[in-house]
Structure 1
Amino acid sequence: MPSALITGITGQDGMYLAELLHGKGYEVHALIRGQNNPKRALIETGFPYVQLHNGDLTDMSSLMRALRDSQPDEVYNLGAISFVAYSWENAHVTSDVTGKGVLNVLEAVRLHAGDDPGSVRFYQASSSEMFGKVQQVPQDESTLLWPRSPYGVAKVFGHYMTINYRESYGMHASSGILFNHESPRRGPEFVTRKVSRAVARIHLGLQDEIVMGNLDAKRDWGFAGDYVEAMWRMLQQDEADDYVIATGETHSIEELLDAAFGHVGIDDWRPRVRQDPRFMRPAEVDLLIGDATKARERLGWQPTVSFRELVAMMVEADLAEQKQLAGL
């Protein structure tokens, strides 16, 4: 039975990846930060097959303990402070966790593997936010990185550090440059879940409007469940490499609103949406669209959930949740 260690288990990707690996017969281990982590009970109840290890990406000793106790064949580093807006408020913390945290995990894996650096396969969750001020449309693995947020800068550090450890030490270390991917498990602070939850509540008469930032920003949105399949496929390759994972389609925030409101039969949604400068980014990333040709050709991967199917899935999940919470 192969063994895997996941950091970031409490995020949507961590949960979908744990399910995928468990279904493939893996022994699944995960790093979780803090004895009183508010999501610990969710993981323990919803994913009873996951063996939890207390640790922190900023604490090397805890990473070494987790590796010693789990003896993984594969390590998936999904842990990060991943909310872009927060990174401007706390650039230092974001850099320590999302950037230097990658270095800590890489070094811990290198030391754990000892004389056989390729014996533990490593996955780094890179991000399309690294492209930032895009220099090429669509973006692929060779596109110049120009991050436009402290989060993006931290991800670039982790991305290049992963390449450096692969080239310097012969580690089987791959990075997935994942474009935006969403699901009903997405945190409510992210724009897609903010929209799906608000639309559900407006439809049920529980709130009147949704307050948004820039409606013109465009993203390449896919389903998180599809994207964790790509992560696993990367670590099954003989040679480690970097891959863009994306749908190749771009949609604006306005289209997101149109699809979400349309799903509940509200065609004229503009009176229910108010823009507020507080929700505008200091430096916006205007157009992200990925070219996943390499992943399709080498990994045999392709997305299975369309944009409108994804939005419908999220709105339906939030309708069910809000009905239950409101006792409807």
Structure 2
Amino acid sequence: MTRAPITRRALITGVTGQDGSYLAELLLARGYEVHGVTRDADEVVTDGVVAHELDLATDSAIAQLISDVEPNEIYNLAALSSVYQSWQNPALTARLNGAVVAEMLAAVKLIHDRGNTDIRFVQASSAEIFGAPNESPQNEETTVRPTSPYGAAKAYAHGLVGAYRTAGVAASSVILYNHESPRRPETFVTRKITAAAARISAGKQETLELGNMEAQRDWGWAPDYADALMRAAKHSKPDDFVIATGVSHSVRDFVAAAFERAGVDDWQDRVSVSETLLRTGDAALQLGDASKARKVLGWSPTVKFDEIVAAMVDHDLALLS
């Protein structure tokens, strides 16, 4: 990959995750000096990223790291990312998804108040802050009413961004709807589905258990959403932005598309619903309106639902080759 001369410095928390890795590649290609927070030394970091080992769950040194690196742009992607796990670990969720954001924004404000560094903060928020919304599609004005510890912690962080923005900090909250890629771990239902479809196709697995197959989600392509995060940081006016495709599909639709791509015709005989996998407070429908991001940031999705599923299944089939 050819890289331009270094022009700005960025710090990414969650740099080894799906979104963090795509964002790091995007920024490096544009000549950024990219720093990333990793939980331990064994994590694989994108080539070219300066790694800083820091366990945000237990360590409060993130403010010192921000002071030391003094980045121009901070992207907070670190989080406990499972709604299900947030019910098992609500205190950890509150720490990672909420309190850490407070510490980061306080550190950003100190640098901002000195006035000698252009510093911008971008929070990766979530459609889960809306809980089970009464209106569809949802936009930046939709009532924040979370229905899970995950959504509540993200809502707190979302509110903090608005508060610090009022205080003059260039902080944006980018409300990301579901976004997928082959880099999703199997702890996410989408990758669980595509990996199972590939293994069943290859005769290495017999069946697949899922939760609510009728839940509808707005699924996009993860690299597009990394691009939206970067656009929010670069925009002259910090704000809140919904990032979504505006098209919803059910989990059943995802399953059907994945098994069709894998060449499994009798998928309905292979997939069952388990009561133990049903999630408390799960919204029946999440559908985002990204009109503001289209107009203000010039952002739009580039990859369609069937293409996303196909890319993930093809990747999982290739892993079995």
C-alpha contact (below 8 Å) 1:56/1:62 kept by paired residues:
no
TM-score (norm 1): 0.93
Aligned equivalents of 1:270 and 1:172: distance in 2? Answer: 50
* TM superposition shift of 1:64: 2.9
Kept after mapping to 1: 8 A contact 2:214/2:251:
yes
What SS does the aligned partner of 1:235 have?
Answer: helix
Give ranges in structure 2 of 5+ residues lacking alignment. 1-6
Pairing 1:14–2:20 present: yes
Give, as a single letter, the amino acid of the residue that structure 2 aligns with 1:90: N
Any conservation in 2 of the 1:258–1:267 contact (CA below 8 Å)? no
Identity rate, percent: 46
Aligned to 2:288: 290
1:237 Cα deviation from its structure 2 partner: 1.2
1:34 and 2:33 matched: no
The two structures, once aligned, show a CA RMSD in angstroms of 1.4
Match of 1:128 in 2: 127
SS at 1:134's partner residue? Answer: coil
Q: Could you report, residue by residue, the CA deviation over 1:117-139 in whole angstroms, capped at 9, with x for unpaired residues?
A: 98210000110011111121000
CA distance, structure 1, for counterparts of residue 135 and residue 261 of structure 2? 33
Q: 2 CA distance for matches of 1:67 and 1:181?
A: 28
SS at match of 2:19: helix
Contact 2:243 2:293 in 1 (8 A): yes
Instruction: Find the residue that maps to 2:12 and give its secondary structure.
Output: strand
Tell me, which stretches of 5 or more residues in structure 1 are unaligned? 324-328
Match of 2:100 in 1: 101
**Could you tell me how far 1:58 is from its partner in structure 2?**
5.1
> 2:303 is paired with a residue of what secondary structure?
coil
Q: How does 1:219-298 map to 2 (within 5 A)?
A: 219-298=217-296
Counterpart of 1:179?
177
Aligned residue in 1 for 2:153: 154
- Judged with a 3 Å threshold, the aligned counterparts in structure 2 of structure 1 residues 154 and 103 are, in CA distance, closer, same or farther, namely same
Question: For each residue in 1:196-251, what CA deviation from the matched residue of structure 2 results, as whole angstroms up to 9, or x when unmatched?
Answer: 00001001110001111111000000011000101111111111000000000000
2:3 aligns to what? none
- CA positional deviation for 1:265: 2.2
Quick check: 1:319 aligned with 2:317? yes
Residue by residue over 1:157-190, the C-alpha shift from the partner in whole angstroms, topping out at 9 and shown as x without a partner, is 000001001102x000001000000110111110
Cα deviations by residue, 1:44-103 (Å, 9 ceiling, x for unpaired): xxx220001122435675213322332210000001001111000011110111111111
Name the residue aligned to 1:23.
29
Amino acid at match of 2:240: D
Partner of 1:326: none
CA distance in structure 2 between the aligned counterparts of 1:189 and 1:204, rounded to whole angstroms: 21
Number of aligned positions between the proteins: 315
Matching residue's letter, 1:158: A
Deviations 1:255-313 (A, max 9, x none): 00010011122233110001110100022211000000000011110000000000000
Q: C-alpha distance in 2, partners of 1:236/1:290?
A: 22
Is 1:57–1:97's contact at 8 Å kept on the other side of the alignment?
Answer: yes
2:130, 2:143 within 8 Å by CA — same for their partners in 1? yes
